[in-house]
Amino acid sequence: MQTIRVNASQSYDVVIGHNLLDSCGERITQVSKAAKAAIVSDDTVYGLYGERVEKSLKAAGFEVVSFTFPHGEASKSIAVLSEIFDFLAENHITRSDVIVALGGGVTGDMAGFASASYLRGIDFVQIPTTLLAQVDSSVGGKTAVDIKAGKNLVGAFKQPKLVICDIDALSTLPEEFFIDGMGEVVKYGMIKSAGLFDKLSRHNLGNIGEILEDVIAECVSIKRDVVENDEFDTGERMLLNFGHTLAHSIEQYYNYTGISHGKAVSVGMMMMTRLAEDNGLCRKGLTDELTACLDRYKLNISVEPKPYELGEAALNDKKRMGGSINIIICEDAGKSFIKKMPVPEFLEMLKG
């Protein structure tokens, strides 16, 4: 088991290891004096792990109530959030109680936002059960729901009191979601760790399980460092967006249904690195190495739109600032920087 301390506006531990669900109650007593714990989970994850988590919480002395919602991004909405608020109120959850988010990024983001706003803020603990949530969304305090105008447009910064990553929970995760999370894992290697990138380039989907605890811990450490330097996303945290500007345009092109986020990010990273290479902004050969690495995790896919067709949608992205856009470039594996580019120059670059 590994413990990573995050010193943001609130300090907390991220524990990563095997068979942690059965001891989650005990661990939560160490960070909360709550009498009641309100579990928020989607129907799939609750069906798989709800009973074990409830049992552990009860054994540790908590009174437990559970709210479940239909799995999937469509539930990350104001409507479901409103149901969560009603549920918390009906069950007399007070400001000294605790919300336990059990599930993937959808659950963590929405339960996190509920905990940021219910009674002006109550404590919450993350128990992420997807690879993406373990390496990314459960750490760093970004919480949100989607609205018609776009994803994650209503939310708050709210750090959890504790994050419990049980690697064994990933055993039931469908492969497509595991692959999706690997897109973000490769991104961490590219932006901050040549060592991680090298490790990933020597493993594949079949044997990454052998080093998964270390890989997750390394990703969390990278995210921790970035968040500690820039909790509120005004500078270095933008590095985490590597590949994401074009990815959002690609997802939009496919109406958010034809391609998964992790695959879109992978294509975004490959396109951006190719453009950087063509413009002398990164080491020659890096795009081929990135492509080969992504290939090992079934993430080397091609998409219909060409980079220049993605420019306009990218400019609608929240990364646009006035007449310029911040793009993330990796000059080598593990070495990234933010490049502020005038919009015309960015569009020109996309033409190749």
Ligand X SMILES: NC(=O)c1ccc[n+]([C@@H]2O[C@H](COP(=O)([O-])OP(=O)(O)OC[C@H]3O[C@@H](n4cnc5c(N)ncnc54)[C@H](O)[C@@H]3O)[C@@H](O)[C@H]2O)c1
Residues engaged in binding ligand X (CB under 6 A): 42, 44-45, 48, 71-73, 76, 103-107, 109, 129-130, 132-133, 136-137, 140, 142, 151-152, 169-170, 172-173, 177, 180
Residues ≥6 apart with Cβ < 8 Å to 350: 275, 307, 308, 310, 311
Contact partners, residue 183, CB within 8 Å, separation at least 6: 243, 261, 262, 263, 265, 266, 269, 294, 297, 299
5 is written with which tokens? 């301390």
**Run of H or E residues at 253:** helix 244-253
Residue at 162: amino acid letter? L
Q: Which of 207, 73, 202, 206 is nearest to 132 (CA)?
A: 73
Nearer to ligand X by Cβ, of 93 and 132: the residue is 132
> In terms of CB distance, is 124 or 177 closer to ligand X?
177
Minimum CB distance to ligand X, residue 257 (Å): 14
The residue assigned the tokens 């739109």 is 305
Nearest approach in angstroms of CB 240 to ligand X is 8
Q: Which is nearer to ligand X, 106 or 259 (CB)?
A: 106
- Least distance in Å: CB of 68 to ligand X? 10
Of the candidates 305, 308, 274, 272, the one whose C-alpha atom is nearest the C-alpha of residue 288 is 274
Query: Considering the complex, what minimum distance in angstroms separates the CB of residue 331 from ligand X?
Result: 24
Q: What letter would DSSP give residue 97?
A: S
Name the residue nearer to ligand X (CB basis): 297 or 346.
297
Question: Cα angle vertex 121, ends 72, 154, to 5°?
Answer: 45
Q: CB of residue 117 vs ligand X: minimum separation in angstroms? A: 15
The Cα–Cα gap between 103 and 127 comes to: 7
Cβ-based neighbours of 240, under 8 Å, separated by 6 or more: 187, 191, 223, 226
Shortest Cβ 327–ligand X spacing (Å): 19
CB of 92 vs ligand X, minimal distance in Å: 28
Asked if residues 124 and 160 have their Cβ atoms less than 8 Å apart, the reply is yes
* Closer to ligand X by Cβ: residue 170 or 290: 170
Of the pair 130, 287, the CB lying nearest ligand X is at: 130
CB of 269 to ligand X, least distance (A): 15
Sign of torsion over alpha carbons 31, 37, 42, 46: positive
Neighbours of 107 (CB within 10 A): 31
C-beta closer to ligand X: residue 140 or 189: 140
Q: Looking at beta carbons only, is 139 or 350 nearer to ligand X? A: 139
